[in-house]
Homo-oligomer: A and B are copies of this chain.
Amino acid sequence: MPITPPALRPGDQVAIVGTARKVSFEEMAAAVEILTGWGLRVVLGESITAEHHQFAGPDELRARDLQQQLDNPDIRAVICARGGYGTTRIIDQLDFSGFARHPKWIAGFSDITALNCHLLRLGYESIHGVMAFIFNQTGGDESLESLRRALFGESVSYSAPAHPLNRFGTAVGELVGGNLSLLQNLTGTASDCPTAGRILFLEDIAEYLMNVDRMLVHLDRTGKLRDLAGLLVGHFTDPQDNAIPFGQTAYEIIDTYARKYNFPVAYSFPVGHEPQNMALICGRRARLVVGAQGTRLEYAD
């Protein structure tokens, strides 16, 4: 059973760190204000406002910043600034021994799937949820509130309306997943997570449908679908297509592979690159119920 970092309490200190794409000071202002409003003290890591091409500073700087926050026992959570790309470039340079002495919440999604999976592989829960860059996005209040509840250890449960491709059933298992492209990119690395007996969640953005299919084939060929307890499919936002259309939507593609097996599957789950992006605790045992009335996910403990 993965280790749960301590819940935040008012007065705690949290850090915002850029592990991937660069952000400006202005882009962090709303997050600082909101986190402060939650009673937290906010530290901006040296990666915030740092720049190296697309990245929030060179690899060395981003790794050093995150390392410092991991090592500092007074920092009780790390909120990732933004996704994009760059986390896998630094992940093997990190030393989690300080973190292991004082586990803390780390939150993010998209490129941060790399950290979520790496932490789960090491035996720790982490949060797949909205990042500092989009704390003030229009329509994102519920997502932000779900992140707050997850950080402060308050109970959460989520529901989604029925979807015609849903496959009914009940599953109990630890949550694992995130961005499909990142999951592919972690295959066979030190950050790769087993999925057997777990509830896998998937989302992606701006992917060619052909490539969604290719990545599903990859997931399936590595045995990652076969032994799932259940599957949650979030947003596949802004799909791209070829001159000759692929002929299936992203959900239809996923259905093709999911129906080889018998686990329950829920589509249109509110996770991914849209304002409805509920915080999911990676590694937490959850109960998924998919039925005619829709989908319900709650933690099993």
Contacts and interface: CB of A to CB of B under 8 A. Distances in A.
A101 interface: no
Given A92-B221, A187-B187, A213 B53 contact: no
Interface stretch (A5-13, A42-50, A149-157, A240-248): A240-248
Interface centre among A186, A189, A242 (most CB of B within 10 A): A189
Nearest to A192: B188
Contacts of A242: 54
A85 B92 CA distance: 32
A190 interface: yes
B53 A190 contact: no
Copies per complex of this chain: 2
Contacts of A185: 184, 214-215, 217-218
Contacts of A259: none
Interface centre among A189, A210, A213, A217 (most CB of B within 10 A): A217
Given A54-B244, A54-B247, A189 B218 contact: yes
Interface in A203-256: 210, 213-215, 217-218, 221-222, 242, 244-248
Contacts of A245: 53-54
A83 to B, nearest CB: 12
B246 A54 contact: yes
A247 B189 contact: no
Nearest to A247: B53
Given A187-B187, A188-B188, A222-B188, A217 B54 contact: no
25 contacts: A22-B244, A53-B244, A53-B248, A54-B210, A54-B242, A54-B245, A85-B210, A85-B213, A85-B214, A88-B214, A88-B217, A88-B221, A89-B213, A89-B217, A92-B221, A184-B184, A184-B185, A185-B215, A185-B217, A187-B187, A187-B188, A188-B188, A188-B192, A188-B221, A189-B222
